[in-house]
Structure 1
Protein backbone atom coordinates (compact mmCIF):
# COMPACT_ATOMS: atom_id res chain seq x y z
CA UNK A 1 0.00 0.00 0.00
CA UNK A 2 1.05 3.58 -0.62
CA UNK A 3 -0.60 5.11 2.45
CA UNK A 4 2.57 6.62 4.01
CA UNK A 5 3.62 8.09 0.67
CA UNK A 6 0.12 9.43 -0.01
CA UNK A 7 -0.09 10.91 3.48
CA UNK A 8 3.27 12.65 3.09
CA UNK A 9 2.21 14.02 -0.30
CA UNK A 10 -1.09 15.24 1.15
CA UNK A 11 0.62 16.98 4.08
CA UNK A 12 3.13 18.64 1.75
CA UNK A 13 0.36 19.82 -0.57
CA UNK A 14 -1.64 21.23 2.35
CA UNK A 15 1.37 23.15 3.65
CA UNK A 16 2.16 24.38 0.15
CA UNK A 17 -1.49 25.26 -0.44
CA UNK A 18 -1.65 27.29 2.76
CA UNK A 19 1.34 29.35 1.67
CA UNK A 20 0.50 30.12 -1.95
CA UNK A 21 -3.20 29.84 -2.47
CA UNK A 22 -4.72 32.38 -0.15
CA UNK A 23 -7.26 34.58 -1.84
CA UNK A 24 -4.96 37.40 -2.72
CA UNK A 25 -7.01 40.04 -4.43
CA UNK A 26 -5.40 43.17 -5.80
CA UNK A 27 -7.59 46.09 -6.85
CA UNK A 28 -4.81 47.28 -9.18
CA UNK A 29 -5.61 44.19 -11.30
CA UNK A 30 -9.00 45.58 -12.28
CA UNK A 31 -7.30 48.45 -14.11
CA UNK A 32 -5.48 45.95 -16.34
CA UNK A 33 -8.44 43.80 -17.45
CA UNK A 34 -8.78 43.43 -21.22
CA UNK A 35 -11.42 41.31 -22.93
CA UNK A 36 -9.97 38.99 -25.58
CA UNK A 37 -11.43 36.49 -28.03
CA UNK A 38 -9.16 33.70 -26.79
CA UNK A 39 -6.06 33.00 -24.73
CA UNK A 40 -2.64 31.97 -25.97
CA UNK A 41 -2.56 28.20 -26.38
CA UNK A 42 1.13 27.47 -25.80
CA UNK A 43 4.09 28.69 -23.78
CA UNK A 44 5.66 30.71 -26.60
CA UNK A 45 2.51 32.69 -27.43
CA UNK A 46 1.72 33.04 -23.71
CA UNK A 47 5.14 34.59 -23.07
CA UNK A 48 4.71 36.92 -26.05
CA UNK A 49 1.35 38.10 -24.69
CA UNK A 50 2.91 38.56 -21.24
CA UNK A 51 5.66 40.73 -22.70
CA UNK A 52 3.07 42.82 -24.55
CA UNK A 53 0.96 43.26 -21.39
CA UNK A 54 4.10 44.18 -19.39
CA UNK A 55 2.73 43.47 -15.91
CA UNK A 56 6.18 44.03 -14.39
CA UNK A 57 5.94 47.73 -15.25
CA UNK A 58 2.80 48.25 -13.16
CA UNK A 59 3.45 49.74 -9.76
CA UNK A 60 1.56 47.87 -7.06
CA UNK A 61 2.24 46.72 -3.53
CA UNK A 62 -0.47 44.11 -3.16
CA UNK A 63 1.80 41.17 -2.36
CA UNK A 64 3.75 43.15 0.22
CA UNK A 65 0.62 44.57 1.87
CA UNK A 66 -0.77 41.05 2.18
CA UNK A 67 2.48 39.78 3.71
CA UNK A 68 3.27 37.74 0.61
CA UNK A 69 6.77 38.91 -0.12
CA UNK A 70 7.96 35.58 -1.51
CA UNK A 71 8.79 34.80 -5.13
CA UNK A 72 5.68 32.58 -5.14
CA UNK A 73 3.44 35.65 -5.27
CA UNK A 74 4.05 38.01 -8.15
CA UNK A 75 1.98 40.37 -10.25
CA UNK A 76 1.91 38.47 -13.54
CA UNK A 77 0.13 38.08 -16.86
CA UNK A 78 -2.94 35.85 -16.79
CA UNK A 79 -5.46 34.93 -19.45
CA UNK A 80 -8.53 33.34 -17.92
CA UNK A 81 -12.27 33.06 -18.15
CA UNK A 82 -14.08 35.56 -15.94
CA UNK A 83 -16.03 34.30 -12.93
CA UNK A 84 -19.33 34.76 -14.78
CA UNK A 85 -17.94 32.35 -17.40
CA UNK A 86 -19.11 34.56 -20.24
CA UNK A 87 -15.86 36.24 -21.30
CA UNK A 88 -12.13 35.66 -21.54
CA UNK A 89 -9.86 38.29 -20.04
CA UNK A 90 -6.20 39.14 -19.98
CA UNK A 91 -5.21 40.62 -16.64
CA UNK A 92 -2.19 41.38 -14.49
CA UNK A 93 -2.83 39.71 -11.15
CA UNK A 94 -1.13 37.99 -8.26
CA UNK A 95 -0.49 34.41 -9.18
CA UNK A 96 -1.50 31.46 -7.04
CA UNK A 97 -1.38 27.72 -7.27
CA UNK A 98 -4.52 26.03 -8.56
CA UNK A 99 -5.35 22.47 -7.48
CA UNK A 100 -7.48 20.21 -9.66
CA UNK A 101 -9.62 22.85 -11.32
CA UNK A 102 -9.29 25.43 -14.03
CA UNK A 103 -8.53 28.99 -12.98
CA UNK A 104 -10.76 32.03 -13.42
CA UNK A 105 -10.53 35.73 -12.65
CA UNK A 106 -13.16 37.27 -10.37
CA UNK A 107 -13.35 40.93 -11.40
CA UNK A 108 -15.39 41.92 -8.33
CA UNK A 109 -12.86 40.46 -5.89
CA UNK A 110 -9.86 41.21 -8.15
CA UNK A 111 -8.56 37.71 -7.58
CA UNK A 112 -7.51 34.60 -9.47
CA UNK A 113 -9.40 31.62 -8.08
CA UNK A 114 -10.45 28.06 -8.83
CA UNK A 115 -13.36 27.63 -11.22
CA UNK A 116 -15.18 24.86 -9.38
CA UNK A 117 -17.40 24.27 -12.42
CA UNK A 118 -14.40 23.24 -14.53
CA UNK A 119 -12.60 20.11 -13.37
CA UNK A 120 -9.53 20.32 -15.53
CA UNK A 121 -8.57 16.72 -14.83
CA UNK A 122 -11.30 15.79 -17.32
CA UNK A 123 -9.72 17.74 -20.18
CA UNK A 124 -8.03 15.89 -23.00
CA UNK A 125 -5.16 16.17 -22.31
CA UNK A 126 -5.83 16.80 -18.62
CA UNK A 127 -4.40 19.81 -16.83
CA UNK A 128 -1.65 19.21 -14.32
CA UNK A 129 -2.95 18.21 -10.89
CA UNK A 130 -1.73 21.57 -9.62
CA UNK A 131 -0.19 24.47 -11.50
CA UNK A 132 0.70 28.13 -11.22
CA UNK A 133 -2.21 30.30 -12.37
CA UNK A 134 0.24 32.36 -14.45
CA UNK A 135 0.77 29.22 -16.55
CA UNK A 136 -2.88 28.53 -17.35
CA UNK A 137 -1.93 27.76 -20.96
CA UNK A 138 -1.18 24.28 -19.61
CA UNK A 139 -4.97 23.80 -19.52
CA UNK A 140 -5.81 23.85 -23.18
CA UNK A 141 -9.55 23.23 -23.16
CA UNK A 142 -11.71 26.16 -24.13
CA UNK A 143 -14.34 27.37 -21.66
CA UNK A 144 -17.07 28.20 -24.16
Structure 2
Protein backbone atom coordinates (compact mmCIF):
# COMPACT_ATOMS: atom_id res chain seq x y z
CA UNK A 1 0.00 0.00 0.00
CA UNK A 2 2.80 2.38 0.87
CA UNK A 3 4.58 1.64 -2.43
CA UNK A 4 1.36 2.40 -4.32
CA UNK A 5 1.04 5.73 -2.50
CA UNK A 6 4.61 6.70 -3.47
CA UNK A 7 3.87 5.78 -7.09
CA UNK A 8 0.77 8.00 -7.11
CA UNK A 9 2.78 10.89 -5.63
CA UNK A 10 5.49 10.54 -8.26
CA UNK A 11 2.99 10.34 -11.14
CA UNK A 12 1.09 13.38 -9.87
CA UNK A 13 4.36 15.25 -9.51
CA UNK A 14 5.40 14.46 -13.06
CA UNK A 15 2.04 15.47 -14.49
CA UNK A 16 1.82 18.62 -12.39
CA UNK A 17 5.18 20.02 -13.44
CA UNK A 18 4.21 21.10 -16.95
CA UNK A 19 3.93 24.80 -17.76
CA UNK A 20 2.07 26.60 -20.50
CA UNK A 21 4.59 27.12 -23.32
CA UNK A 22 6.54 30.37 -22.84
CA UNK A 23 3.81 32.04 -20.78
CA UNK A 24 6.27 33.13 -18.15
CA UNK A 25 9.83 31.93 -18.48
CA UNK A 26 12.62 34.35 -17.70
CA UNK A 27 16.32 33.96 -17.15
CA UNK A 28 17.64 35.79 -14.07
CA UNK A 29 21.05 36.33 -12.51
CA UNK A 30 20.15 34.68 -9.23
CA UNK A 31 17.22 33.14 -7.40
CA UNK A 32 15.79 34.33 -4.08
CA UNK A 33 17.93 33.32 -1.11
CA UNK A 34 15.30 33.57 1.64
CA UNK A 35 11.56 33.68 2.26
CA UNK A 36 11.29 37.50 2.02
CA UNK A 37 13.01 37.62 -1.37
CA UNK A 38 10.89 34.72 -2.56
CA UNK A 39 7.65 36.45 -1.56
CA UNK A 40 8.71 39.67 -3.31
CA UNK A 41 9.47 37.69 -6.46
CA UNK A 42 6.04 36.00 -6.21
CA UNK A 43 4.34 39.41 -6.15
CA UNK A 44 6.30 40.61 -9.18
CA UNK A 45 5.46 37.51 -11.20
CA UNK A 46 2.33 37.03 -13.32
CA UNK A 47 1.65 33.54 -12.02
CA UNK A 48 -1.64 34.60 -10.40
CA UNK A 49 -2.93 35.85 -13.75
CA UNK A 50 -2.01 32.55 -15.37
CA UNK A 51 -3.92 30.69 -12.67
CA UNK A 52 -7.05 32.70 -13.48
CA UNK A 53 -6.64 32.27 -17.21
CA UNK A 54 -6.06 28.55 -17.27
CA UNK A 55 -8.15 27.55 -14.25
CA UNK A 56 -5.20 25.88 -12.57
CA UNK A 57 -2.83 26.90 -9.77
CA UNK A 58 0.40 28.20 -11.26
CA UNK A 59 3.06 28.94 -8.65
CA UNK A 60 6.19 31.02 -8.94
CA UNK A 61 9.38 28.97 -9.20
CA UNK A 62 13.01 29.89 -9.57
CA UNK A 63 15.12 26.92 -10.58
CA UNK A 64 18.33 25.97 -12.32
CA UNK A 65 17.96 24.69 -15.87
CA UNK A 66 18.83 21.14 -16.86
CA UNK A 67 22.44 22.18 -17.58
CA UNK A 68 22.83 23.87 -14.19
CA UNK A 69 24.07 26.97 -16.02
CA UNK A 70 21.20 29.45 -15.64
CA UNK A 71 18.57 30.43 -13.11
CA UNK A 72 15.09 30.39 -14.60
CA UNK A 73 11.93 32.01 -13.26
CA UNK A 74 8.81 30.19 -14.36
CA UNK A 75 5.14 29.79 -13.45
CA UNK A 76 4.12 26.17 -13.06
CA UNK A 77 2.05 23.93 -10.82
CA UNK A 78 4.11 22.90 -7.82
CA UNK A 79 5.22 19.28 -7.59
CA UNK A 80 6.35 16.97 -4.81
CA UNK A 81 10.12 16.55 -4.74
CA UNK A 82 11.57 13.38 -3.26
CA UNK A 83 15.05 13.95 -1.87
CA UNK A 84 16.60 15.82 -4.85
CA UNK A 85 16.96 19.31 -6.23
CA UNK A 86 14.29 20.34 -8.74
CA UNK A 87 15.19 21.82 -12.11
CA UNK A 88 13.42 23.44 -15.04
CA UNK A 89 13.70 21.45 -18.25
CA UNK A 90 13.82 24.05 -21.02
CA UNK A 91 13.22 21.47 -23.77
CA UNK A 92 10.24 19.73 -22.22
CA UNK A 93 9.01 22.95 -20.56
CA UNK A 94 8.44 21.27 -17.22
CA UNK A 95 9.71 21.08 -13.66
CA UNK A 96 11.40 17.83 -12.74
CA UNK A 97 13.85 16.33 -10.26
CA UNK A 98 17.57 16.26 -10.90
CA UNK A 99 18.46 12.78 -9.71
CA UNK A 100 22.17 13.60 -9.65
CA UNK A 101 21.65 16.17 -6.89
CA UNK A 102 20.75 14.49 -3.61
CA UNK A 103 19.92 17.43 -1.37
CA UNK A 104 19.42 15.22 1.70
CA UNK A 105 23.24 15.18 1.98
CA UNK A 106 23.72 18.94 1.80
CA UNK A 107 25.07 21.07 4.65
CA UNK A 108 21.49 22.26 5.12
CA UNK A 109 19.73 19.08 4.06
CA UNK A 110 16.33 18.98 2.47
CA UNK A 111 13.67 16.62 3.82
CA UNK A 112 12.94 13.37 2.06
CA UNK A 113 9.74 14.88 0.67
CA UNK A 114 9.08 18.58 0.10
CA UNK A 115 7.26 20.97 -2.23
CA UNK A 116 9.04 22.48 -5.22
CA UNK A 117 8.13 25.99 -4.07
CA UNK A 118 10.31 25.49 -0.96
CA UNK A 119 13.46 25.26 -3.02
CA UNK A 120 14.76 28.62 -1.69
CA UNK A 121 15.38 26.92 1.67
CA UNK A 122 18.07 24.74 0.14
CA UNK A 123 20.49 27.16 -1.49
CA UNK A 124 23.08 24.55 -2.38
CA UNK A 125 20.76 23.50 -5.21
CA UNK A 126 21.51 26.89 -6.79
CA UNK A 127 25.24 26.82 -6.04
CA UNK A 128 26.05 23.61 -7.91
CA UNK A 129 27.18 23.99 -11.52
CA UNK A 130 27.96 21.39 -14.14
CA UNK A 131 31.68 21.74 -13.39
CA UNK A 132 31.27 21.27 -9.64
CA UNK A 133 28.87 18.37 -10.19
CA UNK A 134 31.35 16.55 -12.43
CA UNK A 135 34.14 17.32 -9.96
CA UNK A 136 32.07 15.95 -7.07
CA UNK A 137 31.23 12.79 -9.03
CA UNK A 138 34.90 12.24 -9.92
CA UNK A 139 35.96 12.95 -6.33
CA UNK A 140 33.34 10.52 -5.05
CA UNK A 141 34.52 7.84 -7.50
CA UNK A 142 38.13 8.53 -6.53
CA UNK A 143 37.26 8.19 -2.83
CA UNK A 144 35.48 4.91 -3.50
CA UNK A 145 38.47 3.67 -5.48
CA UNK A 146 40.83 4.69 -2.68
CA UNK A 147 38.61 2.96 -0.14
CA UNK A 148 38.68 -0.20 -2.26
CA UNK A 149 42.47 0.06 -2.61
CA UNK A 150 42.80 0.64 1.13
CA UNK A 151 40.53 -2.32 1.81
CA UNK A 152 42.55 -4.50 -0.57
CA UNK A 153 45.85 -3.41 1.00
CA UNK A 154 44.47 -3.93 4.50
CA UNK A 155 43.21 -7.38 3.55
CA UNK A 156 46.56 -8.19 1.97
CA UNK A 157 48.42 -6.97 5.07
CA UNK A 158 46.19 -8.99 7.38
CA UNK A 159 46.63 -12.03 5.17
CA UNK A 160 50.41 -11.53 5.14
CA UNK A 161 50.54 -11.15 8.92
CA UNK A 162 48.38 -14.24 9.36
CA UNK A 163 50.56 -16.22 6.97
CA UNK A 164 53.67 -14.98 8.76
CA UNK A 165 52.20 -15.98 12.11
CA UNK A 166 51.22 -19.41 10.77
CA UNK A 167 54.70 -19.88 9.33
CA UNK A 168 56.22 -18.81 12.64
CA UNK A 169 54.07 -21.31 14.52
CA UNK A 170 55.02 -24.03 12.05
CA UNK A 171 58.69 -23.14 12.45
CA UNK A 172 58.45 -23.29 16.26
CA UNK A 173 56.71 -26.66 16.00
CA UNK A 174 59.32 -27.87 13.53
CA UNK A 175 62.16 -26.72 15.80
CA UNK A 176 60.59 -28.47 18.80
CA UNK A 177 60.12 -31.66 16.81
CA UNK A 178 63.70 -31.48 15.52
CA UNK A 179 65.07 -30.94 19.05
CA UNK A 180 63.10 -33.89 20.42
CA UNK A 181 64.31 -36.10 17.59
CA UNK A 182 67.98 -35.12 18.11
CA UNK A 183 67.64 -35.65 21.87
CA UNK A 184 66.16 -39.11 21.31
CA UNK A 185 69.00 -40.00 18.93
CA UNK A 186 71.64 -38.84 21.43
CA UNK A 187 70.03 -40.79 24.28
CA UNK A 188 69.78 -43.87 22.08
CA UNK A 189 73.41 -43.50 21.04
CA UNK A 190 74.55 -43.17 24.65
CA UNK A 191 72.50 -46.22 25.63
CA UNK A 192 73.99 -48.23 22.75
CA UNK A 193 77.51 -47.09 23.65
CA UNK A 194 76.99 -48.07 27.27
CA UNK A 195 75.63 -51.46 26.25
CA UNK A 196 78.55 -52.15 23.90
CA UNK A 197 81.19 -50.86 26.30
CA UNK A 198 79.96 -52.39 29.58
CA UNK A 199 78.54 -55.69 28.26
CA UNK A 200 81.99 -57.41 27.93
CA UNK A 201 82.84 -56.49 31.54
CA UNK A 202 79.51 -57.93 32.59
CA UNK A 203 80.24 -61.19 30.74
CA UNK A 204 83.74 -61.45 32.23
CA UNK A 205 82.44 -60.86 35.72
CA UNK A 206 79.68 -63.40 35.21
CA UNK A 207 82.09 -66.02 33.90
CA UNK A 208 84.50 -65.37 36.80
CA UNK A 209 81.68 -65.80 39.28
CA UNK A 210 80.68 -69.09 37.61
CA UNK A 211 84.34 -70.38 37.79
CA UNK A 212 84.55 -69.59 41.48
CA UNK A 213 81.31 -71.41 42.11
CA UNK A 214 82.58 -74.51 40.29
CA UNK A 215 85.82 -74.51 42.33
CA UNK A 216 83.90 -74.35 45.60
CA UNK A 217 81.71 -77.25 44.60
CA UNK A 218 84.76 -79.29 43.64
Q: Shorter-chain TM-score: which interval?
A: 0.7 to 0.9
Q: 1:140 to 1:25 in 2, by over 3 A?
A: closer
Tell me which of the two structures has the higher relative contact order, counting C-alpha pairs closer than 8 angstroms and 6 or more residues apart.
Answer: 1
**1:30 Cα deviation (Å)?**
2.5
Q: 1:44 to 1:12 in 2, by over 3 A?
A: farther
Match for residue 170 of structure 2? Answer: none
Match for residue 28 of structure 1? Answer: 20
Return the alpha-carbon distance in structure 2 between the equivalents of residues 124 and 13 of structure 1: 29
Q: 1:137 to 1:12 in 2, by over 3 A?
A: farther
Give unpaired runs (5+ residues) of structure 1: 1-7, 64-73
CA shift digits 1:29-75 (9 cap, x unpaired)? 533111111110111111110111130112225x5xxxxxxxxxx31
Find the structure with the greater CA-based Rg.
2
1:79 paired residue among 59, 62, 82: 62
1:108 paired residue among 91, 103, 106: 91
**1:11 Cα deviation (Å)?**
4.2
Q: 1:116 to 1:15 in 2, by over 3 A?
A: closer
- Normalising to structure 2: TM-score of the pair? 0.52
Matched positions, count: 125
Give RMSD over aligned pairs: 2.2
Match for residue 60 of structure 1? Answer: 54
Match for residue 88 of structure 1? Answer: 71
Return the alpha-carbon distance in structure 2 between the equivalents of residues 54 and 135 of structure 1: 19
Q: 1:41 to 1:27 in 2, by over 3 A?
A: closer
Q: 1:13 to 1:46 in 2, by over 3 A?
A: farther
**1:16 Cα deviation (Å)?**
5.5
- Normalising to structure 1: TM-score of the pair? 0.75
Q: Counting helix residues as a fraction of each chain, which structure ranks higher?
A: 2
CA shift digits 1:3-38 (9 cap, x unpaired)? xxxxx8x44851661463133354525331111111
**1:89 Cα deviation (Å)?**
0.5
